[in-house]
Structure 1
């Protein structure tokens, strides 16, 4: 069992080291994800851009980290910020034409890459793998929540406040 567990974590770590972002010209993986999320939120809202707090929530990242990424995307002229005229505290982010073009280019690169990989693995094997990975994720998420809740309970029981 120990060997299986070690192999599992080695494989997961190997995926982190793949550096898929090396396929991306002039953009980081984080920036690509942010552009995709801006586009998705814009479709859903159909209004003037996406608020930074919504991006932070969707990306599950702290607002200051999103602001840093937005700043980098602004410097590359992929997004623009707009201040809400009705409430100056609200800042909206929109894709520029260059941002739309970069996003389309990146989606094509990622589509081509993933298609090549999946073709080599085979659709039946990919279907089984996806099923098992989703199951592994759900069980891992459940176990993590259980352990976090138990740690909170133990700390409270020991008189420690978290």
Structure 2
């Protein structure tokens, strides 16, 4: 059974090795993810850095590095939050919106080309299984976090 678990882990891990960024227009996967979150933000198109980190499930220092790169490329602008001057907001520039739209189309075409090799029923089952596995995995991570076990005996 351990061999089966190893195969499962390898099957899941191999997707991290895909170089999806190689098909994107001059942006990394993390930049694309951040730009997507910013573009999907509400009516004013702005999001605070802490909101972005939370939604992305990425540490704020990693988000800051990503945003710095996006700012250098001219894809985002920072501003002080009108409602709380302690917060910094980010929004896409017009060029950032254009690149995000282009990257979204590229990703849509890519995913479509990949999944068209599956029947709809197979795809629906796969999505359900992946969501179930993710949910269980997330709960197990929470239950096993090292920081929560400090000072406790290892079982």
TM-score (norm 2): 0.87
Tell whether the 8 Å contact from 2:45 to 2:92 is kept in structure 1 after alignment: no
Assess, with a 3 A threshold, how the Cα gap between structure 1 residues 20 and 153 changes in structure 2: closer, same or farther: closer
What secondary structure is seen at the aligned counterpart in 2 of 1:155?
Answer: coil
Deviation at 1:52, TM superposition (A): 1.1
TM-superposition CA deviations, 1:15-51 (whole Å, max 9, x none): 111111111120000000000111122x2xx236211
Any gaps of 5 or more consecutive residues in structure 1? Answer: none
- Residue 27 of structure 1 is matched in structure 2 by 27
Correspondence 1:43-82 to 2 at 5 A: 43=42, 46-47=43-44, 49-82=46-79
Tell whether the 8 Å contact from 1:83 to 1:90 is kept in structure 2 after alignment: yes
- Residue 144 of structure 1 is matched in structure 2 by 141
Tell whether the 8 Å contact from 2:39 to 2:45 is kept in structure 1 after alignment: no
Match of 2:127 among 125, 130, 139: 130
CA RMSD in angstroms, aligned pairs only: 2.2
Correspondence 1:97-108 to 2 at 5 A: 97-108=94-105
- Structure showing greater radius of gyration is 1
TM-superposition CA deviations, 1:52-95 (whole Å, max 9, x none): 11111111222222121111111111111112467543221111
TM-score (norm 1): 0.84
Bigger mean CA offset, 138-147 vs 28-37: 138-147
Write 1 or 2 for the structure with the bigger share of helix.
1
Assess, with a 3 A threshold, how the Cα gap between structure 1 residues 119 and 53 changes in structure 2: closer, same or farther: same
Assess, with a 3 A threshold, how the Cα gap between structure 1 residues 131 and 67 changes in structure 2: closer, same or farther: same
Relative contact order (C-alpha < 8 Å, sep 6+): which is higher? 2
Any gaps of 5 or more consecutive residues in structure 2? Answer: none
